[in-house]
Amino acid sequence: MAALAIRSAGPDDAGTIAHFIRELARFEKLEHQLDLDEQRLRDQLTAEHPPFGVLLAELDGAAVGFALFFTNYSTFLTRPCLYLEDLFVLPEHRSHGIGIALLKRLAALAVERDCPRLDWCVLDWNTKAIAFYERHGARLMQDWRVCRLEGDALTRLAGGG
């Protein structure tokens, strides 16, 4: 049986992270929204305070999945929390415990950092992911909706158009 390892990614992993982001966008049918820049990822990972962290799942040294996360803040709890932006495992490696290994390591990281909460979004059509998350104790926040400003709308609101 192959050995699974979860490790923190660094700047030299930017190409691997970019690959997983592309694969995730393809899976989510959102490739048209990609503005992916591998050098920008590398630069951000080399910053004194990187804006995000990445956990890589490796089987016998080969990357098969990732979790990209960052710190956010809860005003109600007046404490930093973790936000999981992306969790992805290559299709041929799903249902072998890799996703839960990544999620467990991220939960442990939240506990280590004294974060009271780990949040993320899931697409409503991704019933397998929803069932997976619920099986492991997550609850869907039915009353909340994601809001987003981008592109021209963002520029206009900022007073630029």
Greatest alpha-carbon span in the chain: 58
Confidence at residue 1, expressed as pLDDT on a 0 to 100 scale: 65
**Domain ranges (residues) in the chain:** 4-120, 122-161
Architecture of domain 4-120: 3-Layer(aba) Sandwich (3.40)
Residue 29's CB: how many other CB atoms inside 10 A? 10
If you average pLDDT over residues 128-139, what whole number do you get? 95
The pLDDT tens digits for 53-100 are 999 999 999 999 999 999 999 999 999 999 999 999 999 999 999 999
The model's pTM: 0.94
The three-class DSSP label of residue 41 is helix
Query: Mind telling me the catalytic residues?
Result: 133
Look-up: residue for tokens 């660094």? 10
Burial classification of residue 4, based on how many CB atoms lie within 10 Å of its CB (0-12 exposed, 13-18 middle, 19 or more buried): middle
Residue 25's CB: how many other CB atoms inside 10 A? 17
Assign 140 a pLDDT band (cuts: 50, 70, 90).
very high
